[in-house]
Amino acid sequence: MSRLNRFCPPRGWAGLLLVAVCWPLNWTIPGIRTSWLFFPLWLGYILVVDALVWVRVGNSLWSHSRKSFIQLFCFSAPIWWLFELINLRTANWQYLGRELFSPLEFNLLSTIAFSTVIPAVFETAELIQTFRWMHFRGPRVAATRRLFVVLFVAGLIMLISLLTWPKIFYPFTWISLVLIFEPINYWTGRPHFLKKLSDGDWHIVLSLASGALICGFFWEMWNYYSFPKWVYHTPGTEFLHIFEMPLLGYGGYIPFALELYALKNFFWPTGPRLLSELSTASVQPERHECR
């Protein structure tokens, strides 16, 4: 790890400015404002979180490699389009206001918005990893060859089930892919999180899950007064809403984070790594704040 730093870098202040400007505009001005404000709002969030990580541990996705940081946005968009393709079958979410755009306009603007998904989750996971309470030893999960075969077969069954009976098995959207790609990553020598769990090291899994839940809260909160916006159709769970999302739906963010991690490792095994993967040294952050 690099030396610790006391002050926020300029990107942190730029991010705060973007959030401070885009958040109220996204909720107040009339018209199709979210189409243009979604990306700068989430870019602001990502820059703020990256700056906080750098302040706490002296390293971050941005400071480690600006090229990879930018490429992560390019990688994120096609990964989320994979989930959009699954949604063509499950129809779990719908975009209100889509009819106001041509198909080309909507898909282009959506691609720009989707580019922020993985950077937001990974940056938030990195921030969580900087806290000492995240670093503890848990139960070991024996990552045997038989386990990977069982996971792979279970993932295929889940994927086939959700495509065959989407109204019943749609929750498998957020589970099946990680069960499929985690074994493939193991068999092909790519990074995989079960390697950490076999040593009793749970902080990558927990930080990714926590990072996705935090991002999920902001996604749903900022979406609530947005336009265009998304709404959900999730049979059997449409009660106790927090914003547009049913309460039970937030549970999907936990395996979703692991899916993003597994997909990144499969399609881009040499791509950006989380801080805990770059160094075996424990994180010892000082208590500094941006000022």
**pLDDT for 284:** 43
Rg (CA), the chain: 19
The two structure tokens encoding residue 228: 């265009």
24 contacts: CB under 8 Å, gap ≥ 6: none
For 94, list phi and psi in degrees, rounded to 5: -135, 140
Do residues 55 and 7 lie in contact, with contact meaning Cβ atoms separated by under 8 Å? Answer: yes
Cis bond before residue 228 (omega within 30° of 0): yes
pLDDT digits (tens, 9 = 90+) for 151-188: 999 999 999 999 999 999 999 999 999 999 999 999 99
Beta-bridge partner residues of 231: 94
Do residues 108 and 35 lie in contact, with contact meaning Cβ atoms separated by under 8 Å? Answer: no
The two structure tokens encoding residue 120: 């937001």
Query: Per-domain residue ranges for the chain?
Result: 10-278
pLDDT digits (tens, 9 = 90+) for 253-269: 999 999 999 999 999 99
Which parts of the chain sit beneath pLDDT 50?
A: 1-3, 280-289, 291
**pLDDT for 122:** 97
Q: What is the pTM of this model?
A: 0.90
CB atoms within 10 A of CB 143: 19
